[in-house]
Every structure is written in structure tokens, then in C-alpha cells.
Amino acid sequence: DSGVTQTPKHLITATGQRVTLRCSPRSGDLSVYWYQQSLDQGLQFLIQYYNGEERAKGNILERFSAQQFPDLHSELNLSSLELGDSALYFCASSVRPNRGEQYFGPGTRLTVT
Amino acid sequence: QQQVKQSPQSLIVQKGGISIINCAYENTAFDYFPWYQQFPGKGPALLIAIRPDVSEKKEGRFTISFNKSAKQFSLHIMDSQPGDSATYFCAASKETSGSRLTFGEGTQLTVNP
């Protein structure tokens, strides 16, 4: 158990809908990362937050957004969902952004029908 | 642009044998190279990592070999066990730039009893 928690574990929704994925980092970790894992794209970095502030953006669609709250938990919002958004979404955390060790949560499996 | 290339895609090894997975990177600014192990339905788990100031790091049965001039690094699993059967991902990041991980494509390892 990495200490990173994610909810929900599974999510099934229809095209065009909006969902919110939640992540709580390990105790003491200030930096949160979101990754998407799909069969065709592999593991891709989406976005990073550090102590409430957006730090870096990767291959994140404009329909997706995220935030980190004062208690350091983070939420990833996915809107206008398409079939191709079906994937595993992982959250990872690290002590601070300039430390490479990242610990991943169990993921949320999103299925868009 | 795939900045980290991993091979082989799949690997079958007999129990007690040595498993070797290779990765090559393009960006010479990368300064942190971790390996992750992922079991079905789970998040990637940090296995072992190396920084470019050393050429080898060993932790138990797992060893990373790093060749900075060739921009290559590899994971060796000694005395492979059926419980090691999983997907292995190499990754790279720039700790000084926020540490987002760029992953290889993954290697599915099967250790036969």
C-alpha cells in the first residue's frame, strides 16, 4: 500500500457527461501528479500540483481540469466525455516537486459508454 | 515524441533465471531513472531508481545498470520468481523541472515455475 488513496475505484458513465476523480496524497507529500494509462498511449503525464498551485501540464485535454485543495487532496475533472477517454487514471504524490520518487495510488478505471 | 523506449515488449523466463529489461532515453537533461512494477488492477509501484552519478544500483534481487554515454539503462532481476510476473515500466524525469515522469511502453514479464 503506497499510502495514496483514490476514489472511486470504478466509474461507468455515458458520453457527454462530467465526472470527478479524487486523490489523497501520502501523509506529508505536497506534490500531486495525475497520469492516464490507456492501451494505445501507455502511461501519460497529465498535470502536476504543488501545495495548491499548478506546477506543470502535460498531455491534458482542454476538457480536463484539476485542482489541489488546502488539505492537499486533489480532484481531476473530466467533462464532455468521449469514448476515447476510457482509461485508468492514476494519481501519484511526492514529498516535493524536485524529488523524483513518486508513489502511485490504485487508480480509477473510467469507462465511457 | 517517445522519449523513453523500452524493450522487449514481453519476456518469458524460467524460475531462477535472470530477467533483463532495457530502456533508452533521448533527453540528456533527465536526471532520475526509476523502475515501476505493476500488477493487474493495481497502480505502478516504485521498485528501484538510479541517478546518473552512479553506474549501478542493487536492491535485493533487483539491479539497475546505467550507461550515461549510451543513454541506456536496464533492470536485471536475479533468481526470477513466479511472483515477479508483472508489467515493468522504466521512466525518466528531470528533478529540477518538477519531476514529471516519462514512461517507457512497458514489458510484460512472465516467470514460469
Q: B53-69, pLDDT tens digit by residue?
A: 999 999 999 999 999 99
d(CA B41, CA A88) in angstroms, rounded, equals 9
Chain B CB contacts of A36 below 8 Å: none
d(CA A104, CA B55) in angstroms, rounded, equals 26
Alpha helices in B61-102 (DSSP H): none
| Nearest in space to A108 (alpha carbons), one of A50, A16, A23 | A23
Predicted confidence band of residue B2 (pLDDT cuts 50, 70, 90): low
Yes or no, beta carbons of A2 and B98 under 8 Å apart: no
Residue B1 has pLDDT above 60, yes or no: no
CB of B89 less than 8 A from some CB of A: yes
d(CA B71, CA B50) in angstroms, rounded, equals 13
Sign of CA dihedral B56, B24, B18, B60: positive
Yes or no, beta carbons of B43 and A33 under 8 Å apart: no
pLDDT: which is higher, B98 or B111: B111
Residue B76 has pLDDT above 90, yes or no: yes
**Residue range B21-48, pLDDT digits in tens:** 999 999 999 999 999 999 999 999 999 9
d(CA B84, CA B77) in angstroms, rounded, equals 9
Judge whether B38 and B89 are in contact, CB under 8 Å: yes
Predicted confidence band of residue B95 (pLDDT cuts 50, 70, 90): confident
Nearest to A90 among B43, B93, B97 (CB): B43
Yes or no, beta carbons of B32 and A100 under 8 Å apart: yes
> What residues pair up with A34 in beta bridges, in sequence order?
A47, A91
Predicted confidence band of residue A82 (pLDDT cuts 50, 70, 90): very high
Contacts of A71 by beta carbon, 8 Å cutoff, 6+ apart: none
| Nearest in space to B99 (alpha carbons), one of B46, B22, B54 | B46
Q: Which three cell numbers stand for residue A97?
A: 516537486
